[in-house]
Amino acid sequence: MTDVADDRRASAAPRDPKFFQNPYAFYADRHASNPAFFWEEYGHWCFADFKSVSALLRDKRFGREILHVATREEIGLPEPKPHVADFDLTEKYSLLNLEPPGHTRLRMLVNRAFVSRQVEQLRPRIRQLANEIIDGFEGEESVDLIKAFAAPLPAIIIAEMIGLPAEAAPQLLNWSNRMVTMYMYGVTYETELDANKASADFMTYLRDVIAERRRAPREDLLTHMLTAEQGGEKLSDDEVMSTAILLLNAGHEATVHTTGNGVKSILESGLDPKTLFATPEQTEATVEECLRFDAPLHLFTRYALMDLEVEGIPLRKGDVIGLMLGAANRDPSRFADAGRFDPFRTDGANVSFGAGIHFCIGAPLARIELQEAMSVLFQRLPKLRLAEQPRYNDVFHFHGLEKLVVRWD
């Protein structure tokens, strides 16, 4: 876009370690100059302030899909790539991408399993699992907390909820981790092929499980999705498969990152973990501050569903905008001392789970997992400390640690 004023343009290479190890310096510059800016590398407008991000997440003039209101030719959207057809199929009926009425129907059929009163019942199981996992490594001198604790716990919980065996969790994690590389900036052909293979294997596995559930229903989410009706309609096998993959992928990805980022934030803050998890209310506040301070997802895109103007920026139907969740959470015009980790702050809030119709369906579950897992971790290992400098993964959208090596002697 050539007609953008120089002071509205900004440049940061998403794959540059200097950037993805600490994107907050770039965000601070945006907040100090123009929080609505044209990001050169991505080639679209982005919004970094809390007020705009929160409003645009709810704005129905923008959507996660565009082909329900425009043709590919009309907006210059390239044709699908044949070599990622399996990956595309997993996304075809994804709650994350659908717009009403498809989104409304699908969400209503799935939502019941994720409401707060349902997931509250999982607290004892989450605590039990957290303790069992710590039992497994407590005798070691040090451990990578991401691999040993943060990753397996939510993967096992969401697998059990859906109705898959806990021992399948490592394989589910493998498929999921390979699939999310598709959201990286500058994805290579080889990465696309590998993500597609993971998608194909994931679907083959789920098709067998779905067929088995149709023969022998159980008390689990998979059976619920196969049998639930809304206005006489049921979900197709492809819709159930897409939803199960989304729930499995999203059901652990953000929780893994928030656990790792949150433990890092707590250990680097110098605050006494005992005080941060002293009461249920303070535990909640600590988790919310972890979500705000170092969010697990930093960039979420939307299509303009019509020609419109936002904050003086003209947008055409089909234009993409970037909503900077991690930047919005550090907006100094919304938060006092925005760059400081403060679990006792009175102005707490965050957009880490999104907002509007695409607000994360698993947010109640993620919050409970984080509250229980982190409080058990610091109760069991009160002398927890960093054993080496943590480093973030080279996947800018998903802001999480490569590993988190800790000691507790």
Task: Write the pLDDT tens digit of every residue in 102-118.
Answer: 888 888 888 877 877 77
pLDDT for residue 1: 54
pLDDT for residue 233: 78
CA distance 223 to 221: 5
Q: CA 75 → CA 67, 303, 378, 408, distances in Å?
A: 9, 11, 51, 56
CB of 360 closer than 8 Å to CB of 368? no
Work out the pLDDT band at 293, boundaries 50, 70, 90.
very high
CA 13-81-198 angle, to 5 degrees, is 80
Residue 272 dihedral angles phi and psi, to the nearest 5°: -80, 115
Query: What residues does each domain of the chain span?
Result: 6-407
- Inform me whether the pLDDT recorded for 200 exceeds 90: yes
Work out the pLDDT band at 224, boundaries 50, 70, 90.
confident
pLDDT one-digit tens code per residue, 340-389: 999 999 999 999 999 999 999 889 999 999 999 999 999 999 999 999 99
Q: Whole-number mean pLDDT of the chain?
A: 93
pLDDT one-digit tens code per residue, 295-334: 999 999 999 999 999 999 999 999 999 999 999 999 999 9
Relative orientation angle of helices 169-179 and 152-162, to the nearest 10 degrees? 100
Strand partners, 300: 323
Residue pointed to by tokens 């390979």: 178
Top-confidence residue, 276 or 254: 276
Architecture of domain 6-407: Orthogonal Bundle (1.10)
DSSP 231: T
Work out the pLDDT band at 184, boundaries 50, 70, 90.
confident
Residue 373 dihedral angles phi and psi, to the nearest 5°: -65, -45
Work out the pLDDT band at 84, boundaries 50, 70, 90.
very high
Percent of the chain at pLDDT exceeding 90: 74
Residue pointed to by tokens 């980022």: 261
- Inform me whether the pLDDT recorded for 234 exceeds 90: no
According to DSSP, the β-strands at 36-39 and 9-10 are: parallel
